[in-house]
Amino acid sequence: MHADMNVSNAPYHHPTPWDARFESLTLPQMLERTVRHGPDAPFLHFLGRTFSYREIFSDARRFAAGLIASGIEKGDRVGLFLPNVPIYASAYYGAMMAGAIVVNFSPLYTVDELAWQVEDSGTRLLVTVDVPELADTATKVLDQSALQTLVFGRLSDMLPWHKGLALKTLGRSKIAAINWSDTIKPWNTILEPWDWQDWMDGKAPALPDLEADTDVALLQYTGGTTGKPKGAMLGHCQLSINAQQVAAINPYDNPRDDVMMGALPFFHVFANTALLNHAVASGASIAMVPRFDAGQVLKTMAKYKTTGFPGVPTMFQALLDHPNITRTDMSSLKVCISGGAPMPAPVHSKFEDVTGVRVVEGYGLTESSGVVSVNPYEGTRKKGTIGQLVARTEIMLVDKEDPTKPAPGGEPGELIIHGPQIMKGYWNRPETDAEVFVEHDGKKWLRTGDVAVVDSAGFLSIVDRIKDMIAVGGFKVFPSQVEDVVLEHDAVKEALVIGVPDDYRGEVPRAYVTLNPDADSSVTEDSLADWLNPKLGKHERVDSVVIREELPKTLIGKLDRKALRAEVL
């Protein structure tokens, strides 16, 4: 089913027409355009200090100059090993101005994880901050990989002067003791020591010409639709157009006055598009926190009168669990956007009831630059769905066993996507193109690995992932559907269902849950199983329910079925 067919057959509820046109821009061009419109407008609010668009653009230009002076050439990879701090934006856009390809690394990576991705991407230079955990990991990777240079930002320089002074004098244990002579390998002697501020002193050279339609801007590592982490190659046009697609679904006046809550980590593709690049495309500002902490997020929302909050479901659950949720003024908040994982219906309803703020679910992948569909911010929406497609995006549902054939009429099928935001391919993995792309109607479509249905109104629902389906005696069981039923129990807070081996049926579902803090002591594993199974089809029934203190989560906090399966099996 094609998106344009959906639009013609059903009302399109986003404020911009589906066939809207978007400019193909490089990300530095997008930033420069916004700076010209309002150079002194706020861009980043960080722990009491505000950085204007002019400041970040100036630092980005100077960083680009430092990179070029140090020998970085067009197409070289520059890595960001950073939490949500202001120099992330300066380094991100600055590296691109220099013609480099940015590589995002999670600040939670171990030495081995970081070293592997540094080697796979060929990252030459890495930007991090003088926080002990990050500095220690980055320095070890420098010693054992082909990485050539580390550039350290000083956290104290990014704070208001009084907080920076307090950190330097009273918080020394929170600052890494960096041996500057060890942070560079002898391939360059232009700038020493390798402190972020030293990269700000160079004169801006002529910056390389960039081609929005052909040049790669970002390597975003992902497990992909299959296998070991791979670097999705996202071009300037894919990222800039996806940012414009997201900006186009905003129905509110004066988007330049919007203040987005920046709790999602910038290293993740969801935040990269829905926060950072979206803000630049709109001229909005971001109220950042270094990492998600429910109490700090609530304070930040109230202080900066945030108008939008993109997050993952576990963030909304954590805010509900915080005692200050009902005492926080959220009157400025217009909408919350949930992505990354399905939002449990009880969490969705409770958050809206407690806060009075509308929560809309959306969907995207790393390979789609971040966003494919979302429920409208105003008017018609359908809870439990991932909404309608963003403009210029097309989808088809194909056979789960053979993606060259359409799905049988009325049945769920694998979701495949065509649109201007779809990646170029995986870095140094040309052999994977045949696995992740499929040809239809003379176009190249991205296979998502997700099983979906679309209703007559053009709203999409993800049923499950193909790899997660459980084969029970010839029947296919979608674990997410069993999880939805488990979550109807008042005592259950979180749930994951996986298939476990069974001698007779091949596999059988098993549910793993955490309980709400106020759950009655009479709730047991057996009582939950006895309550659950009569509500399920015979082939969907679980062999047991396992109560745990916690369930595994990914780096951005969504429940991780893959990790649970690996742990259990």
Q: For residue 469, is pLDDT > 50?
A: yes
User: Which string of b and e fits 271-301 if b means at least 16 CB within 10 Å?
Assistant: bbbbbbbbbbbbbbbbbbbbebebeebbebb
Query: In this predicted model, what pLDDT tens digit does every residue of 548-566 receive, in sequence order?
Result: 999 999 888 889 998 999 8
Predicted pLDDT of residue 191: 34
Predicted confidence at residue 415, as pLDDT, reads: 97
Average pLDDT over residues 322-331: 96
Report the pLDDT averaged over residues 458-468: 89
Confidence (pLDDT) at 505: 82
pLDDT at 6 over 60: no
d(CA 292, CA 526): 35
pLDDT of 273 higher than 80: yes
CA 172 to chain centre: 32
The fold of 27-210 is: Rossmann fold (3.40.50)
Query: Would you state the pLDDT for residue 398?
Result: 96
Q: What is 3-23+222-464's CATH topology?
A: Rossmann fold (3.40.50)
| Confidence at residue 202, expressed as pLDDT on a 0 to 100 scale | 58
Q: What is the mean pLDDT of the chain?
A: 89
Determine the number of helices (DSSP H) and then strands (DSSP E) in the chain.
Answer: 18, 26
Q: Are 236 and 243 in contact (CB under 8 A)?
A: no
- 264: alpha, beta or left? (left if phi > 0; alpha if psi -120 to 50): beta
pLDDT at 183 over 70: no
pLDDT at position 340 is: 84
- 3-23+222-464 and 27-210: same fold? yes
**Tens digits of per-residue pLDDT, 342-369?**
888 889 999 999 999 999 999 999 999 9
185-213 average pLDDT score: 63
The pLDDT value recorded for residue 168 is 58
Comparing 208-212, 221-225, 382-386, 533-537, the range with the smallest average pLDDT is 221-225
Whether the per-residue pLDDT at 538 is higher than 90: the answer is no
Question: Tell me, what amino acid is at 29?
Answer: Q
Mean pLDDT of 446-473: 90
Average pLDDT over residues 99-111: 94
CATH superfamily of 469-568: ANL, C-terminal domain (3.30.300.30)
> Residue 195's pLDDT is what?
66
The full set of domain ranges for the chain reads 3-23+222-464, 27-210, 469-568
Q: Decide if pLDDT at 404 tops 70.
A: yes
pLDDT at 70: 87
CA dist 116 and 120 (Å) reads 6
How deeply is 398 buried, as exposed, middle or buried, from its count of CB atoms within 10 A (0-12, 13-18, 19+)? buried
